[in-house]
Structure 1
Amino acid sequence: MIIGTGSVKVGGGVTIAYRTAGDAGAPPVVLLHGGGSRGAASWDSVTVALAAAGTRPVALDLRGHGGSSRTRDYPLTGFRDDVLATMDALGLGTVSLVGHSLGAHTASLVAQGAPGRVTRLVLEDPPVPSRTPGVRSLPGWTLLLPMLGTAVRRGGFDRRALTRAVRQLREPDPAWWARLPSIVAPTLVIGGGPRSHVAAESLDGLVRALPDGRLVTIPAGHRVHSTAPAAFEAAVLPFLTAPR
């Protein structure tokens, strides 16, 4: 399976790089990686499996990662806007959307802001903001260190993209919770189990707040698609390719 690469210009002079495979006419699946990862390449094995299943996977490098632009700031809404602009530039009208960690939160923002453009949504071990004003969701380093992992040694990303995103994700966001009912796409939430820093209770609360959400736990830690690819693909591929 040949994985092709490309890039597009989006708002503010930002360039977003991507990797894709499969038939250009197949149903598109946009993949969003976690913060501090090696970017779109972290999805390569999933990309191959999705293409073999008859879809067109398009894995993006979020701003500050891989071949995408480094910017002065990294608002969470900026990641969202980059995804939507990239979809427009590539002519992707409606898509299935798969995100891991920071990419999962970004995917939720896309599905909230443009619900008619997301047909299926997969959120892999997403950070869940606190509901309570003044109460942060997690101590900063508790959230940051698992995301960093070996990324510092590997490089390939702007460290500010991760630290500033974590700072925002720690803050309570009642508006994010209030907008969850606007997500009309069937949503599969994948938790990493007790080895993950994301609490199972927060994922339960997220699923209950979604109009059509379900939770699958794969006890592989935070990076499920990397540490348990077969189990991840067994859960995700039937969900994405089921008749609509």
Structure 2
Amino acid sequence: MKLFHDTFGDGPPVALLHGGGSGRATWAGFVGALTGFRAVTPDLRGHGASPRAAGYPLSGYADDVIELLDDLGLDRVTLIGHSLGGFTASLVAQRQPDRVTRLVLEDPPAPPRHGTASGGFSRARLALAGVAGGLSLRRRFDKQALLSAITQLREPQPDWWEALPAISAPTLLLSGGPKSHIPPAGLAAVAEAVPDCRLVTVPVGHRIHSTAPVRFRETVLPFLRPDTSGGTDVSGEMR
């Protein structure tokens, strides 16, 4: 599965992974602010110009990203992921912790740790109901990729939870707050499980990087440059 991707700039590499139903173009505004970095923006499998697949297991998204990093010769990389891309980035950081230098997870889904399927994604499913009505054609993605991801992420993922402590990279976890369909309490539990993690709330909903691009830049860019101070959440507190 060879992912179609764009590359911009020169410097330490940063791979940016879009959310389900989106594509690499979602990062266009932010990439312009990544001066001094080499930005790599792929389309995930089933999205944009990347191939469609017979199946869409969550692990497959991570397989594809690791293959892309191998092909590009990127032994050390910062990962930034939104939603499904954030979950994918976390899988890569769990599998290859020494490879990931910094990790930014923007409102990633936190699946149930155990028990039965969660209703936490019911609002997301409703919001994405337009997939069957032509949204997939306008945004160029396989609707099965998105529906499959939602279904899987509503199921318990105990192995994922158990592997969170394996993430060694400094991690910035962004929550969209109560306006997002991703429950903030779940992200707080993720922040507790990842050893070096700061949780920042930007209460604008699920798509922080596009809904509040200035605040996203002001929060993420200092984190990518350790010689400057990190961002804060709206209450002035940093986890």
Give the structure-2-normalised TM-score: 0.90
Which of 69, 87, 92 is equivalent to 1:105? 87
Change over 3 Å in CA distance of 1:149–1:241 after alignment to 2: farther
Shift of residue 142, structure 1, vs aligned partner = 2.1
Query: What is the aligned partner in structure 2 of residue 189 from structure 1?
Result: 173
**Distance in 2 of aligned mates of 1:149 and 1:183:** 35
The correspondence of residues 145-224 of structure 1 with structure 2, limited to 5 A, is 145-146=126-127, 151-152=135-136, 154-224=138-208
Q: Percent identity?
A: 53
The answer (yes or no) to whether the contact 1:64–1:71 under 8 Å persists in 2 is yes
Amino acid aligned to 1:35: G
Which of 223, 236, 240 is equivalent to 2:220? 236
- The answer as to 2:112 corresponding to 1:130 is yes
**Distance in 2 of aligned mates of 1:34 and 1:79:** 11
Query: What is the aligned partner in structure 2 of residue 32 from structure 1?
Result: 17
- The answer as to 2:11 corresponding to 1:16 is no
The answer (yes or no) to whether the contact 1:20–1:47 under 8 Å persists in 2 is no
The answer (yes or no) to whether the contact 2:177–2:184 under 8 Å persists in 1 is yes
Shift of residue 195, structure 1, vs aligned partner = 1.0
Query: What is the aligned partner in structure 2 of residue 67 from structure 1?
Result: 49
Change over 3 Å in CA distance of 1:140–1:215 after alignment to 2: closer
The answer (yes or no) to whether the contact 1:15–1:68 under 8 Å persists in 2 is yes
Change over 3 Å in CA distance of 1:29–1:102 after alignment to 2: same
- The answer as to 2:38 corresponding to 1:86 is no
The answer (yes or no) to whether the contact 2:20–2:85 under 8 Å persists in 1 is yes
- Paired residue secondary structure (2:181): coil
**Distance in 1 of aligned mates of 2:13 and 2:56:** 26
- CA-atom RMSD, angstroms? 1.7
Task: Tell me the matched-pair count.
Answer: 225
The answer (yes or no) to whether the contact 1:35–1:147 under 8 Å persists in 2 is no
**Distance in 1 of aligned mates of 2:79 and 2:14:** 6
Shift of residue 193, structure 1, vs aligned partner = 1.3
Amino acid aligned to 2:106: E
- The answer as to 2:117 corresponding to 1:144 is no
- Paired residue secondary structure (1:214): strand
**Distance in 1 of aligned mates of 2:42 and 2:130:** 20
Stretches of structure 2 that go unaligned for 5 or more consecutive residues are: 229-239
The answer (yes or no) to whether the contact 2:111–2:156 under 8 Å persists in 1 is yes
Shift of residue 243, structure 1, vs aligned partner = 4.2
Amino acid aligned to 1:222: H
Query: What is the aligned partner in structure 2 of residue 57 from structure 1?
Result: 39
**Distance in 1 of aligned mates of 2:110 and 2:157:** 9
Task: Deviation per CA, 1:8-45: give whole Å up to 9, x if none.
Answer: xxxxxx2211122111xx100000000001x1111011
**Distance in 2 of aligned mates of 1:147 and 1:103:** 17
**Distance in 1 of aligned mates of 2:221 and 2:26:** 17
Shift of residue 140, structure 1, vs aligned partner = 5.1
Stretches of structure 1 that go unaligned for 5 or more consecutive residues are: 1-13
